[in-house]
A and B are shown apart, each in its own frame.
Chain A
Amino acid sequence: METKVKELFSTILEVPANKINDKTTPENIENWDSFKHIVLVSAFEEEFNISVEPEDVVEMYKNYETFKMIIMEKLK
């Protein structure tokens, strides 16, 4: 599942998956701005049929690790 999360993340941001790791933040990756973040969250909601709480949307903007953990938690 972790691979699938990274794949979708990489597709939406149009950034190669090998350039994404837990330390990836909106500051150190091109394309991850506040609008693209909303696009990301919305794509994950649609793909995995989940609903992300508004406060989680904010948390997920910290780094890829937090983003992934929140999505994985929702998928449990």
Chain B
Amino acid sequence: MAKSTFKGIAISGIAGSVPKNKINNLTDHEFCSEDERKKIVELTGAHEYRKAPPEICSSDLCEAAAKELMRGLNVDPKSIEAIIFATMTPDYRIPSTACILQDKLGCPISTVAFDINMGCSGFVVGLYNACALIQGGGLKRILLLAGDTQSKLCHDQDKTVVFLLGDGGSATLVEATGTSEDSIVIELMTDGSRFNSLFVPAGGFRYPSTKITREVKEQADGGLRAEDDIYMDGMEIFKFSSTDVVKSIKNFMELGQLSAEDIDFFIMHQANKFMTDKIARKLKFPLEKVPYSLRVYGNTGSASIPLTIVHNYDAMIPSGKNRCLLSGFGVGLSWGVADIVLNQIYCPPVIEC
């Protein structure tokens, strides 16, 4: 079981960034009727999101967040020992974008840098890896970058995804504190048997991109897309989120003897509000303990958890300790739960790039 307790590790700060370009779900996407757009917005809770122009990649968003984070915390880039970049949208197929970010951020060549190809569970999986490098590898200071430009994976008339998938980046500083009271508990899970309920069918080495895979067709579910575009089986993902994810959070809380009262904030991946409200209620979290960034940023993939923290941090008792339960779930299928404490961390307002 991939459940670990990490001692003497804490998050010192989180910064978030988004592209300037706003897409309004009520007024854009004219391929859907006005009534349909209203209904989608009402149910998903995503009123708008940000869409990066072609020249802005996930790494650019994370770079801006990382620079602001290091500036605000007065951290010398030379002191960074590892860069972990969780993303589904790297700059290149080769190399890991984290290598490029090592140079752009001014980190030393002694830095270990690698990407984690994960989406909506990416922040939690990345945090697990950061903690493991500190606890197991003796590193002291790690930059965890999580970001995606998912709008580039969608066909712009695929109504199953285009109202939800937005772009965003984040940077989180994870540090060894040497204080045993600072603890982070994380559990990760994977079910690859359902990988094809949320994936991009073509464009990898299994099924390379060709003229045929780039052809846009009306699909059986009414979506308009090519095989090079992201596909989501909405009901299968709903089923996964509302059963497997809920069950694993329940088990995590039971084994850790945690109740909703013990947790200040339950921060979920920003999938869609109809579903996440139901998950929160099922787990007995009052909705005031469940912050959202979905309304303004949509579902930002691996950035959604850190971006939700940054977006809501002013309302999250910034002067005190916040015990937060994080739940990331999505492509893989991969999911994870983390029990963390945010203790007066540096959390600047979301940056626009």
Contacts and interface: CB of A to CB of B under 8 A. Distances in A.
Interface in A21-39: 33-35, 37-39
Interface stretch (A1-9, A55-63, A65-73): A55-63
B160 interface: yes
Chain A, interface SS category: helix
A57 B279 CA distance: 12
A35 B160 contact: yes
A57 B238 CA distance: 9
A37 B159 CA distance: 14
A35 B279 CA distance: 18
B221 A51 contact: no
Interface in B221-242: 221-222, 233-235, 238-239, 241-242
B272 to A, nearest CB: 8
A54 B282 CA distance: 8
A53 interface: yes
Size class of the contact patch on chain B: 20 to 34
Given A54-B242, A58-B243, A34 B160 contact: yes
Contacts of A53: 278, 282
B243 A57 contact: no
Nearest to B42: A42
A2 B40 CA distance: 28
Nearest to B243: A55
A38 B222 contact: no
Nearest to B274: A38
A35 B278 CA distance: 16
B43 interface: yes
Contacts of B239: 58
Contacts, number: 45
A58 B43 contact: no
A54 B160 contact: no
B246 interface: yes
B235 A42 contact: no
Interface string B304-330: 000000000000000000000000000
B39 interface: yes
Contacts of A54: 238, 241-243, 246, 275, 278-279, 282
A20 B229 CA distance: 34
Interface residues of A, number: 14
B275 to A, nearest CB: 7
A61 B238 CA distance: 11
A38 B41 CA distance: 12
Interface string B43-63: 100000000000000000000
B242 A34 contact: no
A42 B44 CA distance: 11
Nearest to A52: B278
Nearest to A58: B239
B278 A34 contact: no
Contacts of A33: 221-222, 234
B214 interface: no
A58 B274 CA distance: 13
A55 B239 CA distance: 7
B43 A51 contact: no
B281 interface: yes
Interface string B269-307: 000001100110110000000000000000000000000
User: Which of B160, B222, B235, B246 has most chain A Cβ within 10 Å?
Assistant: B235
Nearest to A27: B220
Interface in B19-69: 39-40, 42-43
A39 B39 contact: yes
A51 B40 contact: no
A61 B279 CA distance: 18
15 contacts: A33-B221, A34-B238, A35-B234, A38-B238, A38-B274, A39-B39, A39-B43, A42-B42, A42-B274, A54-B238, A54-B278, A55-B242, A57-B278, A58-B235, A58-B243
